[in-house]
Structure 1
């Protein structure tokens, strides 16, 4: 099973890079997780431009970039007028509308920074992450919180319908809570499967929590508003093409929030094929 999953990740990464990596790019975002190792390998094989700068979403992805002989640059070193040509990242789960859950590896805050700064976000995953609704296979929403706020955030999450939110600990319980690159903690919050915007339009639930149902975007905003929450592991809202249309209309590079949905998701399948789910405007 493990070999099949790794082969699926590699196949998806190779195709995603082939279709979205441009050797003439100047800045490329690189996400976190095991799938990204294959993305970087594919980029190394395809890249003929040593001037490209790669922006990692955390310590692990920076190490992968360095080990591949590519050049990393810190996110906060980017000139304010520079957009990433593309950002590649994985996901813990993806629904029919390309909303994603991310943060299983505890890098969600920096992953959102990078995704929102990219002209387009391309997601690479294996077949297990391909679900019709979020919180179908993946059990919780990761939330990055200030350590002092954990008790209040847990109480608030229970109030809005999370069944049993818990503080994530390290593999060694005696080491205490897991810390992010920002020295924040991660709370994992389970909810019933989330509705899409189409579900709400079809009358399958109000999606605002009042009837026990939550729509993806509404739940993301509700959690983000809790005092002490730095970021929520839901990537929703606009995709890169929609964001670019707003940037042209508003002459601004600061119109994207919510993490940005991918323009395309590449799922490596068990049989070695790759299934691609694209945004409707592509």
Structure 2
């Protein structure tokens, strides 16, 4: 099953969790875009978007949305992921929306991930870097700290302009190579989170309740209870 078909299968399964008049949180990513384009227009919803990109995708389909400063909490948030392991731990932030996605996930009663099979991994960080959102004024501090720990990294550039990629919050993204870090994702999260100027780290540990993974054999459903 091609990746697009896998994404549609995951999005279709997620749409079964949605009902009219609910408060729905939406993260970001290509599978979330499939959900927006193919399934959401049939519902009457109040939607809170985790990023400006998601808001624009909703607007393109004629769907209104609120942003994160809305005081309401979602009954359900559906989000994508760059990587997900079978314990429902995630790498987030490939689209530079990790802070908004974290805020929305923690405010939601239920947090569900949708993705294609290429996002399923046995070890977080083995084949995809960990995004770190950093205040620009603290970038050099962070670089020095990472260098002192012999952790490889790169400042993410933007393919639409010269210079670094900029988040919705005006911050920069440093992508950390965790492929040789052998102390586990939780340890890496806490190390990175305590560094000066770090706003958010794209390791979501123990947050997701469920993941719907489209595969050539159908949709794999990973749940928090089953993964323990």
Sort the TM-score into its range (normalised by shorter chain).
Answer: over 0.9
Q: Does 1:94 align with 2:84?
A: yes
- 1:17-96 equivalence runs, <5 A: 17-18=15-16, 20-25=17-22, 27-40=23-36, 41-45=38-42, 47=43, 49=44, 52-78=45-71, 82-96=72-86
1:112-150, Cα deviation, whole Å (9 max, x unpaired): 111111111110001011111101232x10000011111
Is the Cα contact below 8 Å between 2:126 and 2:178 reproduced in 1? no
- Structural mapping, 1:113-192, within 5 Å: 113-138=103-128, 140-162=129-151, 164-171=152-159, 175-192=162-179
Higher relative contact order (CA 8 A, sep 6+): 2
- Give 1:218 deviation, angstroms: 2.2
Gaps of 5+ in 1: 194-211, 238-260
How many angstroms apart in 2 are the aligned matches of 1:59 and 1:37? 13
Output the CA distance in 1 between the equivalents of 2:67 and 2:120: 31
Which structure has the bigger radius of gyration? 1
Number of the residue aligned with 1:105: 95
CA contact (8 A) 1:144 1:232 kept: yes
Residue from 199, 206, 210 that aligns with 1:230: 199
How far apart in 1 are the matches of 2:196 and 2:66?
Answer: 31
> Could you tell me the TM-score, scaled by structure 1's length?
0.75
Counterpart secondary structure, 1:171: coil
Cα shift readout 1:197-250 (whole Å, capped 9, x = no counterpart) = xxxxxxxxxxxxxxx62222222122111111000001113xxxxxxxxxxxxx
Q: Distance in 2 between matches of 1:158 and 1:97?
A: 30
Deviation at 1:281, TM superposition (A): 6.0
- How far, CA to CA, are the matches of 1:171 and 1:7 in structure 2? 27
Please give the residue correspondences for 1:212-231 in structure 2 after superposition, counting only pairs within 5 Å. Answer: 213-231=182-200
Distance, in Å, in 2 between the alignment partners of 1:137 and 1:17 is 29
Shift of the alpha carbon at 1:70?
2.3
Give the distance between the partners of 2:167 and 2:89, measured in 1 at CA.
Answer: 23
Query: Which runs of structure 2 are paired with 1:265-276 in the superposition (5 Å)?
Result: 265-269=211-215, 271=216, 273-276=218-221
d(CA) in 2 for partners of 1:158, 1:119: 39
Task: Give the gaps of 5 or more residues in structure 2.
Answer: none
Question: How many angstroms apart in 1 are the aligned matches of 2:112 and 2:191?
Answer: 26
